[in-house]
Amino acid sequence: MSQPQQEQGPRIAVAVVTMGNRPAEVDALLRSVAKQDLAPSRIVIIGNGCPLPEFAERLDLPGEVTCIETDENLGCPGGRNVALARLREFGDVDVVVELDDDGLLVDADVLRRVRDLYAADPRLGIVGFRIADEHGETQQRHVPRVGAADPMRGGEVTGFLGGGHALSMAMLAETGDWPAEFFFAHEETDLAWRAADAGWTILYAPELLLQHPKTSPARHAVYYRVTARNRVWLVRRRLPLPLIPVHLGVWIAVTLLRTRSVGGLKAWFGGFVEGLRTSGGARRPMRWRTVWRLTRLGRPPVI
């Protein structure tokens, strides 16, 4: 097939992290990247503790394709950091689009729209995609606003979805990369709070669709422990001291109301204690003006 050409504007890369257990889905995702009407300058695929097949020629992928296999599973944020480190070595990428390995770009103009958004705003740090299943339904937890918000309502927000998003490389140079210690859960919030504190804009762009199977985060065996541990780490790293007990108190109440499993509650509180006893990284709390900014945008950092 003929390859679309890179055009003037921010240079786009695509990064995908996989554990090797979804080969058909990864092939479909990469084919949807190849069909984009704006070619990425680079594609980086991370085998997170797993071997990778040859993708480039078999799938006729555009741009430069780099496959990296790590010795162990580094978790989603750790794997993405490997991709970011390689992109920095290349030095020719302005924006990276990171996609879940079981996602799919249905529309052919997603990368072009991403390029145009970043070209229009030099302080645009993060662009969150809309996540919807094959029937077009977006789960409420995938809408980055408090309450039962309209998934088609875009605009500036306080967070983004890990499944499909774009990150400014200039922003990452200022804020730092993903918190690899988290392995999974709440790593998006940590990065979003750092971006907001540094004055970057986080945009939810529902016209950018990533099709993704409907899932529950509790499908992971360690979900309750890790989410509790990481929430404690998150607030210890990022919140002003007076807000830490408020945030944790709110989430203890929410967890008691939502969780029906005794085993789940036991694992959650075990993770909570682990988060108090162990370090999740250096403490760099956000400024109070960032707290106010997040509050004005509809999600104060205690909810």
Mean pLDDT for 185-213 is 97
Average pLDDT over residues 111-115: 98
When the pLDDT of each residue in the chain is averaged and rounded to a whole number, the result is 93
Residue 1 has pLDDT above 50, yes or no: no
Question: What is the Cα 190 distance to its own chain's centre?
Answer: 10
Cα Rg of the chain (Å, integer): 19
Give 259: exposed, middle or buried? Use CB within 10 Å, 0-12, 13-18, 19+. middle
CA distances from 188 to 126, 147, 183 (A): 10, 19, 11
For residue range 5-58, list pLDDT tens digits in order: 556 899 999 999 999 999 999 999 999 999 999 999 999 999 999 999 988 778
CATH code for residues 12-215: 3.90.550.10
- On the question of pLDDT at 299 being above 80, the answer is yes
| All residues at 6 or more sequence positions from 187 whose CB lies less than 8 Å from its CB, including other chains | 76, 77, 162, 178, 179, 230
Flag whether pLDDT at 109 surpasses 60. yes
What confidence tens digit (pLDDT) does each residue in 54-99 have?
887 788 899 899 999 999 999 999 999 999 999 999 999 999 999 9
d(Cα 213, Cα 6) in Å, to the nearest integer?
30
Neighbours of 64 (CB within 10 A): 14
289 vs 218, more confident: 289
Taking residues 236-246, report their average pLDDT.
Answer: 98
Distance in angstroms (rounded) separating the CA atoms of residues 260 and 264: 8
pTM: 0.94
Tens-digit pLDDT profile for residues 268-293 = 999 999 999 999 999 999 999 999 99
Mean pLDDT computed over 111-137: 96
Confidence of residue 261 (pLDDT cuts 50, 70, 90): confident
| Pair 45, 55: CB distance under 8 Å | yes
Rounded to an integer, the average pLDDT of 167-195 is 97
Q: What is the spatial distance between Cα 3 and Cα 274, in angstroms, rounded to a whole number?
A: 50
What are the boundaries of each domain within the chain? 12-215, 218-296
Tally Cβ neighbours within 10 Å of residue 51: 8
